[in-house]
Structure 1
Amino acid sequence: MNITGASSSLYNEDLAPAKVRNWGAFSIFNVWTSDVHSLWGYYLAASLFLFCGGFVNFLIAIGIGSLIIFALMNLIGNAGVKTGVPFPVLARASFGIWGANIPALVRAIVACFWYGAQTAAASGAIVALLIRSDLFANFHQNVHFLGHSGLEVICFLVVWALQLLIIQHGMETVRRFQDWAGPAVWVMMLLLAIYLCWKAGGLAFSSDIPMEVLLEKTNDAGVPGVPGSVASLAAVAAIWVTYFSALYLNFCDFSRYAPDKAAVRKGNLWGLPVNLILFSLVAGVTTIAAYDVYGEVLLHPDQISAKFDSFFLAALAAITFAVATLGINVVANFVSPAFDFSNVFPRQIDFKKGGYIAALIALVLYPFAPWEGSAASFVGVIGATMGPIFGVMMVDYYLIRKGEIHVEDLYRENGEFRFQSGWHVPAFIAAGIGALFSSILPNLTNWLPEWWGVYGWFFGVGIAGAIYYVLRAAKVGVNRPVARA
């Protein structure tokens, strides 16, 4: 689509509607294999397994959560296919042409946190492999700076730098990388599970992990109920849904390159409920087998591979998981801030520069390591910040505009989406109140029940979406008709 009358403050080639649409169902499927098949994805799935207290409970909770994820991704994915625009541009329809910079920056900052978390996980797999050598083990134990061992810092910097090479040639390079990186880790996951089951003497779907061990491993996550209870299973499904909260916002960054909605639905079907459930099944089997073999709960796959007798298998596992984690970082935590930062300063920042800014911020965060601790807690706190934005955008697109947006006006300073001097006040009122109940009160006060934070993303979506709909129905902030150029 050629945009007539586009403002240079709102437009560049990276933000323009997609012209080449060659991301078929397989590429969409591999967005999810790259996103899920990482050290953090495994760590979260294995952690959630402990809350379920049994294999059947785990599959029920994960299955329900995966179906919800599938439905939500189709909502934002279809918007990307129809408009062809990335997330920060789509946000202009609900937040205003200048106001959209706020949700774009929120998404970008969240991506920077996740970028650091995934890079640290990938470098941790390499560290676990290297310390099998006495030379590296001594260096790891005796040299420390920036709050980490010298070996951890070096590995982090190496992995951090390698990711920058992937995006040198833009989104097509991203597509090619994730088309093979995601499936590769599936092979390694199966080898890991088969090896442990062989060591354990067979495949087991029932867990022998004692309740006292489950309670010890889960007592700091803020999840209500004891492992296996209905409250705990509901929390598992909610946390699983929240884990994908960042991509609910910017999945249109990828779906806009798809030829049609059918390709997105097919890719989502195989990549989400089918792939998620199978991946979680393997994570559960591996967790049980690892406990049977080593007598301890091992939630990180690099912890498991570090115990392998075979250096070859340990090296293969470490490298595969590290590469897969690079895949998710490129897909989920590089592409989005690249577009988001570019949206704020389109004349000065293109796709590559935006990604470099995100990588630099993640590097600055590394000494503080805010991602260390409970996986469930980190996912909940980070995810809850984006619920209100998603609620406003989906209500605006589907309930207010009925899926119809004048795309050219998204790039015009005086078009339909100028609202109040470029800001849409009702959207910020709704998102602000939603954020109060999704993030601020549950994390900074003790005014709400302890379990509230687990469902923070859902409260953010529901409260912000409902308030926005009421304000729009009352015609608050509605423009007078604008003449089309």
Structure 2
Amino acid sequence: MEIRDPSPGLYNEDLAPARQRNWGAFSIFNVWTSDVHSLWGYYLAASLFLLCGSFINFVLAIGLGSLVIFALMNLIGYAGEKTGVPYPVLARASFGVWGANLAAMVRAVVACFWYGAQTAAASGAMVALLIRSDSLMAFHKGTQVLGHSGLEVICYVVIWALQLLIIQKGMETVRKFQDWAGPAVWVAMLILAIGLCVKAGGFSFTHGIPMNVLLQKTGDAGVSGEPGSFWALMAVGATWITYFAALYLNFCDFSRYAKNRDAVKKGNLWGLPVNLIAFSLVAGVTTIAAFKVYGEVLLHPEQISAKFDSWVLALIAALTFAVATLGINVVANFVSAAFDISNTFPKQISFKKGGYIAAAIALVLYPFAPWEGNAAHFVNAIGATMGPLLGIILVDYYLVAKGNINVAALYQEHGEYRYEGGWNVNALVSAAVGSVFSTFLPNFTNLLPVWWNTYGWFFGVVIGGGMYLIMATLRPRTAIAPTRA
């Protein structure tokens, strides 16, 4: 739809409702292949595999978690397909035309952290390849810059810069890139798994990893009970669901380009529960085979490729991991941050400029490397910050507004979504209360039990969304006209 006479502080061409809606199920599917098939996705799946204690437990926990992910992505995806607007604009309906900037910047900051984490993982794969050379190994060990080796810094900057090239021509270029990058990574991961299984003497669902090794590897995960216990499986499912916390918010950045709701649903079905379970199985099989071949638990794919005898195979593996990271960073982090930052100052900051700002922040974060350490801890800590936002947006869209969004008013400073001076007090109070229990108390105090961190995102969704529903009942807003397309 065309937006007539929008307020200058709320509109630019990148934030406008999508004009071209030509993304079919395959493009939506490849959003998820690009997002899931990454070094961090593999690392998390392999780490969670250790907590499950057996392959059956792993499939059960990951499978049920993947169904929850599928359901939530459909909810936010349908809103994007119906309205055609990106996440920060959709958030205006819940938080107000100015209040949405707060929700958008929270997501943008998270995207910058993940952008850095994924780039660091890909640069690690390149380092693992290059230190096969004696001279580069000497440089790696002998040069220190900002708390990292000189080689690590160089590889990080190179991978970081390559990602900037992909978004030069906008979202259609993103779609074309992910359409071939996702399947390519799948093929490489299968080759890695099959090659290791052959070397291990066959395929096996029995991992054979001793309990003392599992306990050693999972001791800092903050999970009650030993691997394979009920609480361990609950933690696996919760962490797997929380891993997608950022994309629950901004999946509408992609579904807005979908041809119809059916394309969203089919793409999500194949890209989420089917693809997630299959990819997790590959990660599990590879972890088992690597343990049998090398006698140690290797959770990072680049650790495995570093042990290859062949330079050619190691090179293919490193390039594949780099492509995987380019895919997820563009899909999950670059696009979101670009829209979110652009939303704050739409007249001055375009989609591309917003992406450049996000990339610059990720570069500044590199010396501090906040993503290093336990995978589950990082995922849950980052994810918890976004729980209240999702709860509020879903409750507002489906329970309060009943799916009726006046799209034109999302771009009007004095329209239906002005609320109190451009801020919806109901949403702000609900977000603050939800954040206290999802983020601040569990991460900055000892008032809550240790296990609370694992479920912080869930508490955020329920408390933030529940609080918003109560406040919307006590402080109702005026009726909203149905969506005009």
| TM tier relative to shorter chain | over 0.9
- 2:337 is the alignment partner of 1:337: yes
Find the aligned partners of 1:122 and 1:28 in 2 and give their Cα distance. Answer: 24
Aligned to 2:9, the other structure's residue is in SS state coil
TM-score normalised per structure 2 = 0.98
Match of residue 297 from structure 1:
297
Work out whether residues 32 and 271 of structure 2, in 8 Å CA contact, stay in contact via their aligned partners in 1: yes
Match of residue 271 from structure 2:
271
Work out whether residues 405 and 480 of structure 2, in 8 Å CA contact, stay in contact via their aligned partners in 1: no
* Mapping of residues 75-474 of structure 1, within 5 Å: 75-474=75-474
Pairwise CA distance, 1:475:
2.4
Pairwise CA distance, 1:224:
2.1
Unaligned runs of 5+ in 2: none
Aligned to 2:128, the other structure's residue is in SS state helix
Over residues 186-216 of structure 1, what are the superposed CA-to-partner deviations in whole Å (9 max), with x where a residue is unaligned?
Answer: 1111110111111110001011111111111
Pairwise CA distance, 1:51:
0.4
Unaligned runs of 5+ in 1: none
Over residues 438-482 of structure 1, what are the superposed CA-to-partner deviations in whole Å (9 max), with x where a residue is unaligned?
Answer: 010011111111111100000000001011001101125x24889
Pairwise CA distance, 1:317:
0.7
Work out whether residues 101 and 343 of structure 1, in 8 Å CA contact, stay in contact via their aligned partners in 2: yes
Find the aligned partners of 2:131 and 2:116 in 1 and give their Cα distance. Answer: 22
Work out whether residues 65 and 238 of structure 1, in 8 Å CA contact, stay in contact via their aligned partners in 2: yes
Return the letter of the residue paired with 1:262: D
Find the aligned partners of 1:136 and 1:5 in 2 and give their Cα distance. Answer: 59
Aligned to 1:28, the other structure's residue is in SS state helix
TM-score normalised per structure 1 = 0.98
- 2:102 is the alignment partner of 1:68: no
Pairwise CA distance, 1:223:
1.9
Over residues 337-357 of structure 1, what are the superposed CA-to-partner deviations in whole Å (9 max), with x where a residue is unaligned?
Answer: 100011000000000000000
Find the aligned partners of 2:2 and 2:339 in 1 and give their Cα distance. Answer: 19
User: What is the aligned length?
Assistant: 483
Over residues 260-315 of structure 1, what are the superposed CA-to-partner deviations in whole Å (9 max), with x where a residue is unaligned?
Answer: 00000000000000000000000000000000000000000000011011111111
Find the aligned partners of 2:126 and 2:217 in 1 and give their Cα distance. Answer: 25
Work out whether residues 79 and 403 of structure 1, in 8 Å CA contact, stay in contact via their aligned partners in 2: yes
Over residues 134-179 of structure 1, what are the superposed CA-to-partner deviations in whole Å (9 max), with x where a residue is unaligned?
Answer: 1111110101111100000000000000000010000011001111
Return the letter of the residue paired with 1:462: V
Work out whether residues 387 and 458 of structure 2, in 8 Å CA contact, stay in contact via their aligned partners in 1: yes
Find the aligned partners of 1:458 and 1:480 in 2 and give their Cα distance. Answer: 30
Return the letter of the residue paired with 1:420: E
Q: 1:480 to 1:307 in 2, by over 3 A?
A: closer
Over residues 209-267 of structure 1, what are the superposed CA-to-partner deviations in whole Å (9 max), with x where a residue is unaligned?
Answer: 11111111111121222100010001100000000000000000000000100000000
Return the letter of the residue paired with 1:350: S
Find the aligned partners of 2:443 and 2:179 in 1 and give their Cα distance. Answer: 38
Find the aligned partners of 1:169 and 1:46 in 2 and give their Cα distance. Answer: 35
Find the aligned partners of 1:294 and 1:83 in 2 and give their Cα distance. Answer: 52
Return the letter of the residue paired with 1:449: P
Aligned to 2:8, the other structure's residue is in SS state coil
Aligned to 1:104, the other structure's residue is in SS state helix
Instruction: Give me the identity figure in percent.
Output: 72
Return the letter of the residue paired with 1:192: L
